[in-house]
Amino acid sequence: MAVEERVPVLVVGGGLVGLATTLFLAEQGVRTLLVDRHPGASIQGRARGINQRTMEIYRALGLEGAIREAGKPFEDDWGVARCDTLAGEWHWLFNDDAPRIWPNLSPGEFCQADQSAVEPILIDAARERGAEHRFNTELVSIVTDDNGATAVIRDRQTGVEETVSADYVVAADGHRSPIREQLGIHRTGPGVIQHSVSIVFRADLSEFVPKPALFWIIVNDKVGAGLVTTAQPNRWGMSVGYDPAAGQSIADFTTERCIADVRAAIGRDDLEVEIEDVAAWEQAIGIADQYRSGRVFLAGDAAHVWPPAGAMGANTGVQDGYNLAWKIAGVVHGWAGDDLLDSYHVERHTVAVELSDLVVNRQMKRNSAEVEDDTTDDQLWAFGQRYWSSAVIGAEHDTVFGDTLSKVAEPGVRAPHLWVERDGARLSTHDLFGRGFVLFTGTDGAEWVEAAAQVSDKLSVPLQAFRIGAAAAGADLADVENGWDKRYTVGAGGAALVRPDGYVAWLSPATGQPAEALTEALHTVLRNG
């Protein structure tokens, strides 16, 4: 069949991760086609918690306000409570004492917004940047070779098939990932650990809920359930488990059974309940052994799955895409070598392996009778993920998470956030990331700024340079909280090279040959020397 369309990148799967990755690629100027078999964006709530790291990524794209507006129905919901029944006594695992924002660490604030509300925002933003989305379009087949991939896609409404050629493919096609299975990539982990039913119902629970929570864990002798609010008043979501090995199935969850389970969870046998929807879903644990197979990359649930404790599923998937997009962009645009793409697996696979153990441990505690604040590691989970790979120079760690969160610049860590002012406007250093490399230097670093312009032009690498310090000393970015020396530790004449995904690639003290040093560093990171 003749190729009818050629694109640099084909993204398969239009959930949060596929949509976000498409947006990140479009932001980097990479023409991208996304296909998804569903008619459009999600109409169910599903993933809701957007952590501070993901929010600072969305903020750099100018989407923070829109996403926060989408989360308004949940802005008063906070905390996780455990109880025998909703009408009984609540025991808070965490409550108002757990902050939603750490302004000294990040400009991002934890946000609750339904996936169904966030996805259209990502679609619109990507289309504004030139991406194309084809919903109601399924992948029929895909063949890969050393030069790319050839895919046959089918419009599910018309039945018309089309052949698309792509340089690279991002498989964000879910935890059962047909692409992963076709490639023969094994997943390590126990697989499905729990079968659950999601029950969407309407009921007036106002007398039992003086303060809305993010989530209630309800366990008694009749039912074990998780309860959440929805964007609509008096509309709720509840999950309960079932065991196929004991002969149980979703067919057991008749309207009468669901009403009985809801009443048992709430603690009122006479509660008026209207069941709206019942759907089966699975909790699983598994991590793909490889995130890259030639020209194909796995992201999101196709790469890793674990229980929902900590809201680290979708957040990790979005951050997979953020890590991958700039690397693909570098190769497509010609300023990076193909070997750079190997660092995607090296960096993100190790994150998934360590994070999976932490999430599973938290889930086990929440399912037990233990009642304790389990959010003490949230800062570390959000901001403490560390990389060591060929795309980092001088990393001295060999684990993803340290014992404590590092708040200073180190190779392979997320660049420290600083509040700065430019032309009278307050911004975060993280607002400058996402489009290319950024070089920070102190007030004595004028030669670094000049070198960055020369090297950017010579290597065709997108690179901006800024001096941080006192405005009176000629700094490009006024250090309003005097954090430069404490957070970046390279002095007034040193420099920090930050990757497009906001991670420190390289640190350098002052040098008499900044252009040569910077050129060598970029060649090393980009594998194009």
Query: pTM for this structure?
Result: 0.93
The span from the CA of 182 to the CA of 85, in Å, is 46
| Residue whose token pair is 């419009």 | 155
Given pLDDT bands bounded at 50, 70 and 90, which one contains residue 528? confident
**Could you give the 3-state DSSP secondary structure of residue 59?**
helix
Task: Find the Cα–Cα–Cα–Cα dihedral 491, 494, 498, 504, rounded to 10°.
Answer: -60
Q: Where are the domains of the chain?
A: 5-76+107-187+286-383, 419-526
> Which parts of 95-232 fold into alpha helices (H)?
115-128, 178-183
**Which of 307 and 369 is assigned the larger pLDDT?**
307
Residue 312 CA: distances (Å) to CA of 51, 53, 238, 397, 416? 8, 11, 20, 23, 21
Report the pLDDT value the prediction gives residue 2, as an integer from 0 to 100.
Answer: 60
Report the pLDDT value the prediction gives residue 364, as an integer from 0 to 100.
Answer: 77
Percent of the chain at pLDDT > 90 equals: 80
Report the pLDDT value the prediction gives residue 374, as an integer from 0 to 100.
Answer: 55
Paired tokens of 298: 């796995």
The span from the CA of 254 to the CA of 446, in Å, is 71
Given pLDDT bands bounded at 50, 70 and 90, which one contains residue 453? very high
Give the tens place of pLDDT for each residue, 101-138: 788 899 999 999 989 899 999 999 999 999 999 999 99
Give the tens place of pLDDT for each residue, 36-50: 999 887 655 567 899
Given pLDDT bands bounded at 50, 70 and 90, which one contains residue 379? confident
CATH of domain 5-76+107-187+286-383: 3.50.50.60
**Could you give the 3-state DSSP secondary structure of residue 520?**
helix
> Which parts of 461-507 fold into alpha helices (H)?
484-488
**Which of 195 and 377 is assigned the larger pLDDT?**
195
The span from the CA of 317 to the CA of 16, in Å, is 8
When the candidates are 3.40.50.720, 3.30.70.260, 3.40.30.120, 3.30.465.10, the CATH number that belongs to 419-526 is: 3.40.30.120
Report the pLDDT averaged over residues 5-31.
98
Give the tens place of pLDDT for each residue, 52-71: 999 999 999 999 999 999 99
For residues 499 and 330, is the Cβ–Cβ distance under 8 A?
no
Give the tens place of pLDDT for each residue, 150-188: 999 999 999 999 999 999 999 999 999 999 999 999 999
